[in-house]
Chains A and B, each alone.
Chain A
Amino acid sequence: MTDISNDTPARGGSLLVTDARTKRRNRAETRFKAYGIAALAVGMAFLVALLWAILSNGLTAFSQTYVQLDVPLLEEKLDKDGDRDPDKIAKVSTFGYKPLIEAALTDLVAREGIETELDGKALTKILSDSAAAKIRDRVLADPSLIGQTVSFDLLASSRVDGYLKGRVSRESLARDKNLDAAHLDLVDTLREAGAVEKRFNLAFITGADASDSRPEQAGIGVAMLGSFFMMLVVLILSLPIGVAASIYLEEFAPQNRLTDLIEVNISNLAAVPSIVFGILGLAVFIQFMHLPQSAPLVGGLVLTLMTLPTIIISTRAALKSVPPSIRDAALGVGASRMQAVTHHVLPLAMPGILTGTILGLAQALGETAPLLLIGMVGYIATNYPDGVAEGFLAPNSAMPAQIYEWAKRADPAFYERAWGGIIVLLAFLLAMNLIAVLLRRRFERRW
């Protein structure tokens, strides 16, 4: 009778037996679902691979090889006149300390009864270049040590450190002029004797960056301070400005051309590539306003402009979620609109605003590209800022910029530092996100 029955194949047999077409459709259904699961699994696999790469490569940066050495601080080398005059002691440069270290190493080898073809000068290659400076600093701080034999924990050189961490092998040393297999034999024996050991490396977290030739000494502490001052600038500027702008747009703005323009602007600013903000910072803050290059202040200003849209968008959502009845009640008992907003709406929206601000800050903390343009890389952050004003204005690095800087250097020992730096950075981001989530859980209110 109807056309339909002509198109569809007539169903014969039992309903309990699935026909070929139904089977095909069911297979397609299973396949489709499998695609979804596979896609999700691939996404998760990428996440796991990323985290695994970070942890497996970076955790080693938190331990470091030290050599325990009894160094005789000979009076005839360090203080010839014997009057402990700090000025005269300061005149002995790090070169003056090198023979002492040589002697101490030779002594150590002899005392442990180790046979090695290496002589004094070659022996010092297992130590970091910074060893002499460390001893000198200690002596300058306490001249009374001169004449005694003092035990020092000195950094091993990055090759030795890499050997203990499995990064450097005897084969890879064949083309390396800094260290031979003989050194590694020596390190093995010293390790058994307990003079060489791997230890937790606090200096990586608190320390300063070091020059190209001393990866073992490099730390992320100074860059962390740079990031801290930048975040301070971002917080101080973007929170009040962002909240004020959102209050205006959400509570007071009439629907007109100007507010439309502002709205479109904010949603587009949120999507402008970060590098463009770097160009803006370079052209406006450095070229035009002559603010100092590499300063956390400038970095903070650029990141503020980037973070503002994020904060405004989340603050508006928080304000919107406060029900109109609150405003109506306030207005009803005689408050002005401004009073209704500042006394009632804003306090109720505060948890949401703070959550959005923390997330915006976390985003700003990890941002690198604009910092490259305002000169926060290429700068070796070796000194802590001397004070608060210095902290804002003196050249510094920032955590992501420091990681980039390490990733660019030639010595693979710096890669370990870069991964380690990422762990520190991610720890901060994780903490900030956790705080945001907890804030949301604690104060979230369903109206």
Chain B
Amino acid sequence: MPPIWTALIVLVIAAAGFVLARARARGAARREARRLHSLLHYYGWTAAIYAAGPALLLLALWLVAQPVVTRSLTWPVLQAEAAEGAVPSLMMADVQRLAAGLDTAASSGRLSPEAARALPPEELRAVMADQGVALGSDVTPATRDAALRWQRVSGLGHLLRDIAVIGLALAGAAWGISRARPDIRARNAVERAMRGGLIAAALIAILSTVGIVLALIFNTVEFFRLYPAAEFFFGTTWSPSFGGGSELGILPLLWGTLYISIIALIVAVPIGLFAAIYLAEYAHRNVRSWAKPMLEMLAGIPTIVYGLFALLTVGPLLVEAFGRGGWLGLGWMQGGTAVMTAGLVMGIMLIPFVSSLSDDIINAVPQSLRDGSLGLGATRSETIRQVVLPAALPGIVGAVLLAASRAIGETMIVVLGAGAAARLSMNPFDAMTTVTAKIVSQLTGDADFSSPEALVAFALGMTLFVITLALNVVALWIVRRYREQYE
């Protein structure tokens, strides 16, 4: 029985528990609600929660645990062969696929487990191919035995799972119904359960952080076991080759990331800041009401659009200006994908980040400061430069840091606009690549996850995560501290 059916049965039991418990509470109260501690439906909900909660939890745990247990029970059959140098993970994958194939064959009635046992292992691959199950290699006797064992163990496991889960649901429902008495505080029980649910939902935020950190750490450690950490952090060459003998130094990637981010900030910070100053200090309310949302539209446009804009519009335009035989006759640029292309487009994307945050912060500067300065005879621009901006500076720095962390983590613009060559160069019209772009190129395709060339992506991801996290923590700290100053 597939788990979804088991879950549905549990829900049906819970619904039945709800109806029965409510009826029982009503009977116990002799149709007089006053006698009950809680409203009627709370008694129903108690039974439903007792029935469904633990049973569904058990089901979830079982689904996670069963493959692990089955694997460890099946492994002894394969041990002899694994000693001869076969790759365990591939062998297990084959065993699982064969077991699944045997299952479908048995359920369609074409091949019973007994018949499969009698069949010579060499023929199994062809039989499976008829079923639409492709196996990686020929079936050895050990693989066949392991698959049959897998099938038996997992079949038993499924049966036990269904019995245990449904039994638990029935027991929970019975317990809940038995507690449908007037003196039981059903509402409190239900609210405790709801509160538990709320806490669990809040913990998911932590869980996903833990997930990110664990996934990164495990694979990064694995990578450093295969590749020396010192060469990764201080190597100046990036030339992965899946045949082996790759050089995986992060410095060219970090340089590309920083260079592009700096260009992006050079574009975004002045434009964003001046736009924010104008909108906050000078603009008429009408102008502000349409100009601010329009600028913020730039933030709502997906990054793939910017990537395409860089690749197909900005890149060719820059080549026409700076390329060989261009308007300026400089010949600095070889192709459309370059640091400048990506940096420029990323700068456009970051304008609204800088402008809306700065706008908020400039607006938070108390009016009394401005009035004081204007009252002393300063012009508005003098007030802004000498009073408002110094007061808002920490917040603006925070906004710029947030924009920088955005720039460093941005992927699509650099994948499409910056090129793929990892190099250490000062020319902004050269193609360079970034940490994010290389994560994408190392992990797309059918790389196997045990080679350093694929695992390096996790180390790159870890580096990226740490850098952006640090920038964010600092930026949020500055912004928050600044806000408190005037509140």
Mutual binders A and B? yes
Residues of A within 8 A of B (CB): 25-26, 28-29, 31-33, 35-40, 42-44, 46-47, 49-50, 53-54, 57, 240-242, 244-245, 247-249, 252-253, 259, 261-262, 265-269, 271-280, 282-284, 287-288, 290, 305, 308-309, 312, 336, 338, 362-363, 365-369, 372-373, 375, 377-378, 400, 403-404, 407, 415, 418-419, 422, 425-426, 429, 433
Q: Assess whether B205 is interfacial by the CB under 8 Å rule.
A: yes
Choose among B205, B409, B473 the residue that contacts A312 (Cβ–Cβ < 8 A): B205
Contact of A369 among B277, B406, B411 (CB under 8 A): B411
How many Å lie between the Cα of A366 and that of B436 in the bound state? 18
A174 to B341, CA, bound (A): 30
A residues in contact with B311, CB < 8 Å: 407
Q: Is the CB of B209 within 8 A of A265?
A: yes
**A40-B206 contact given A368-B412, A369-B303, A404-B412, CB 8 Å threshold:** no
- Asked whether B468 lies within 8 Å of A29 as measured between CB atoms, the reply is no
B219 touches A283 (CB 8 A): yes
Decide if B472 is an interface residue (CB 8 Å cutoff).
yes
| Top 8 closest pairs, chain A to chain B, by CB | A273-B409, A366-B302, A36-B278, A39-B274, A283-B215, A244-B201, A32-B381, A248-B198
Q: How far is the CA of A375 from the CA of B278 in the complex (A)?
A: 45
Are A272 and B468 in contact, CB atoms less than 8 angstroms apart?
A: yes
Report the bound CA distance from A309 to B297 in whole Å. Answer: 21
Contacts of B409 in A (CB 8 A): 272-276
Shortest CB–CB separation between residue B44 and chain A, in angstroms?
Answer: 16
Contact across chains for B302 and A367 when beta carbons are under 8 A apart: yes
> Of the 9-residue stretches B113-121, B326-334, B456-464, which lies at the interface with chain A?
B456-464
Residues on B with beta carbons closer than 8 Å to the beta carbon of A377: 444
Q: Residues 243-272 of chain B: 1 if any A CB is under 8 Å from the residue's CB, otherwise 0?
A: 000000000000000000000000000111
B208-A269 in contact (CB<8A): yes
Q: Is the CB of B304 within 8 A of A373?
A: no
Question: Which residue among A271, A275, A277, A400 has the maximum number of chain B CB atoms within 10 Å of its CB?
Answer: A275
Binds A, one of B28-36, B127-135, B189-197: B189-197
**CB proximity to A under 8 Å, residues B160-190:** 187
For A437, the closest partner residue in chain B by CB is B293
B382 at the A interface (CB under 8 A): yes
Query: Shortest CB–CB separation between residue B245 and chain A, in angstroms?
Result: 25
A279, B468: Cβ atoms under 8 Å?
no
B412 contacts A369, C-beta separation under 8 Å: yes
A218 vs B306: C-alpha distance when bound (angstroms): 22
Q: State whether A422 and B291 are in contact (beta carbons under 8 Å apart), knowing that A36-B278, A244-B198, A275-B440 are contacts in the complex.
A: no
When the two chains form their complex, are residues A429 and B472 in contact, meaning their CB atoms are under 8 A apart? Answer: no
B439 → chain A closest CB, angstroms: 6
Contacts of B202 in A (CB 8 A): 244-245, 248-249, 253, 259, 262
Bound CA–CA A381/B311 (angstroms): 24
Taking CB atoms, residues of chain B closer than 8 Å to A375 are: 444
C-alpha gap A426/B303 in the complex (Å)? 12
Q: Shortest CB–CB separation between residue B147 and chain A, in angstroms? A: 17
Q: Flag if A287 contacts B468 (CB, 8 Å).
A: no
- The reply to whether B443 and A279 contact each other, CB–CB distance below 8 Å, is yes
Contact, CB under 8 Å: B304 / A403: yes
A280 touches B208 (CB 8 A): yes
- Report B's interface with A, CB cutoff 8 A: 67, 187, 191, 194-195, 197-206, 208-209, 211-212, 215-216, 218-219, 270-275, 277-279, 281-282, 291, 294-295, 297-298, 300-309, 311-313, 348, 351-352, 355, 379-382, 384-385, 402, 405-406, 408-412, 415-416, 436, 439-440, 443-445, 449, 457-458, 461, 464-465, 468-469, 472-473, 476
Which residues from chain A contact B411 at a C-beta distance below 8 Å? 273-275, 368-369, 372
Q: How far is the CA of A338 from the CA of B196 in the complex (A)?
A: 12
CB-nearest residue of chain B to A30:
B381
Contact A284 B309 (CB under 8 A): no
Tell me the minimal C-beta distance from A388 to chain B in angstroms.
Answer: 12
Residue of A nearest to B277 (CB): A36
Q: Which residues of B contact A312 (CB under 8 A)?
A: 205
Known: A241-B204, A366-B302, A419-B308. Contact between A279 and B439, CB under 8 A? yes
**11 additional contacts (CB under 8 A) given A26-B379, A273-B464, A378-B444:** A245-B202, A252-B198, A269-B205, A274-B411, A309-B205, A312-B205, A338-B191, A372-B411, A400-B304, A419-B312, A429-B302
CB of A279 within 8 A of CB of B275, answer: no
Q: In the complex, which of the residues B202, B212, B274, B443 has the most CB atoms of chain A within 10 Å of its own CB atom? A: B202
Q: Which residues on the A side are within 8 Å of B469 (C-beta)?
A: 268, 271-272
- Kindly list chain A residues whose C-beta atoms are within 8 Å of the C-beta of B379: 25-26, 28-29
B440 and A362: CB pair below 8 A?
A: no
Cβ contacts under 8 Å, B385 to chain A: 32
Nearest A residue (CB) for B273:
A39
A280 touches B445 (CB 8 A): no
Inter-subunit contact A279/B216 (CB<8 Å): yes
Contacting pair A28 B412 (CB below 8 A): no
Chain B residue at minimal CB-CB distance from A429: B300
When the two chains form their complex, are residues A244 and B197 in contact, meaning their CB atoms are under 8 A apart? yes
Among B304, B440, B445, B468, the residue within 8 A (CB) of A422 is B304
- Tell me the bound Cα distance from A67 to B273 in angstroms: 55
User: Given B201, B348, B445, which contacts A50 in the complex, CB threshold below 8 Å?
Assistant: B348
Question: Within the assembled complex, what's the spacing in Å between the Cα atoms of A372 and B67?
Answer: 28
Q: Bound complex: CA of A400 vs CA of B449, how far in Å?
A: 26
Residues of A within 8 A of B380 (CB): 29, 32-33
CB distance from B393 to the nearest CB of A (A): 17
| Nearest chain A CB to B371 CB, angstrom units | 18
Rounded to whole angstroms, the CA-CA distance of A185 and B270 in the bound complex is: 53
B274 touches A35 (CB 8 A): yes
Bound CA–CA A37/B284 (angstroms): 12
User: Which residues of A are found within 8 Å of B301, using beta-carbon distances?
Assistant: 50, 366, 426, 429
What A residues does B304 contact at CB under 8 A?
Answer: 366, 368, 400, 403-404, 422, 425
List chain B residues, Cβ under 8 A from A47.
294-295, 297-298
Cβ of A415 and Cβ of B312 under 8 Å apart? yes
Instruction: Give the nearest-CB partner of A403 in chain B.
Output: B304
10 residue pairs A–B, Cβ–Cβ below 8 Å: A31-B381, A39-B271, A43-B271, A269-B208, A276-B461, A276-B465, A278-B439, A368-B302, A369-B415, A404-B416
Distance, CA A367 to CA B198, complexed state (A):
28
- The residue in chain A whose Cβ has the minimal distance to the Cβ of B475 is A271
Contact (Cβ within 8 A) B271 A42: yes
Min CB distance, B479 to chain A, in Å? 11
* Cα separation A184 to B181 with both chains bound (whole Å): 88
Instruction: Let me know if B305 and A271 touch, CB within 8 A.
Output: no
In angstroms, Cα B219 to Cα A253, docked, is 35
Closest to A261 in B: B206
The CA of A362 and the CA of B297, in the complex, are separated in Å by 13
Question: In the assembled complex, which residues on chain A have CB atoms less than 8 Å from the CB atom of B464?
Answer: 273, 275-276
A171 to chain B, nearest CB (A): 18
CA distance A297 to B436 in the complex (A): 24
Q: In the complex, are the beta carbons of B215 and A284 less than 8 A apart?
A: yes
